[in-house]
Amino acid sequence: MKCPFCAHLDTTVIETRVAEEGEFVRRRRQCSACDKRFTTYEKPDVSFPSIVKKDGRRNEYERHKLQGSLNLALRKRPVSTEQIDSAIERIEEKLLLLGQREIASHRLGELVMRELKKLDKVAYVRFASVYRSFEDIDEFKTLVDEVR
């Protein structure tokens, strides 16, 4: 690791700690040239699958888009930010466990719907009505009856 003070390449790890529930590792380092100390953080570098749209376009997975969709569906609903963050983490965990380089957007949508159904039935119906592009009121009624 290069020293941020003198740019020397030889540094020594003098202390290592696991931080924030094992999410990352904190290391205190000391430069062998200038003796200054600094902290580095290590976290796993994970790559999520690309999202394949209906028209064949491929987009990189973006957490903020997923969060925006959930926030929109859950707007003015009694669901905490922590619950939303947990749902996002569960969705991301499932994406990583798939072990695929690409995933169809409809499959991601189904993962989102599953989480919304657990969090809030109204938000689930909101999201599903847009996501499934209902053509008539009967399709909407069927969804509402399913939730009941």
More confident residue, 134 or 121: 121
- Flag whether 3 is in a domain: no
CA nearest neighbour of 114 among 97, 101, 127:
127
More confident residue, 128 or 94: 94
Between CA 6 and CA 38 the distance in angstroms is: 12
Residue 135's contacts (CB-CB under 8 Å, 6 or more residues apart) are none
The answer on 68 and 102 residing in a single domain is yes
pLDDT score of 21? 75
The answer on 19 and 92 residing in a single domain is no
Mean pLDDT, residues 6-14: 95
The answer on 84 and 23 residing in a single domain is no
**Cβ(143)–Cβ(128) under 8 Å?**
yes
- Flag whether 4 is in a domain: no
- Flag whether 122 is in a domain: yes
Mean pLDDT, residues 38-62: 91
Whether residue 47 has pLDDT greater than 90: no
**Cβ(70)–Cβ(84) under 8 Å?**
yes
The answer on 133 and 68 residing in a single domain is yes
In order, the DSSP letters of the chain are ---TTT--S-EEEEEEEEETTTTEEEEEEEETTT--EEEEEE-----PPEEE-TTS-EE---HHHHHHHHHHHTTTSS--HHHHHHHHHHHHHHHHHHT-SEEEHHHHHHHHHHHHHHH-HHHHHHHHHHHTT--SHHHHHHHHHHH-
The answer on 129 and 60 residing in a single domain is yes
The answer on 72 and 126 residing in a single domain is yes
What's the domain count of the chain? 2
The answer on 126 and 105 residing in a single domain is yes
State which residues form the domain around 35.
Answer: 11-42
pTM: 0.65
Mean pLDDT, residues 105-112: 93
Mean pLDDT, residues 13-32: 90
The answer on 106 and 65 residing in a single domain is yes
The answer on 102 and 68 residing in a single domain is yes
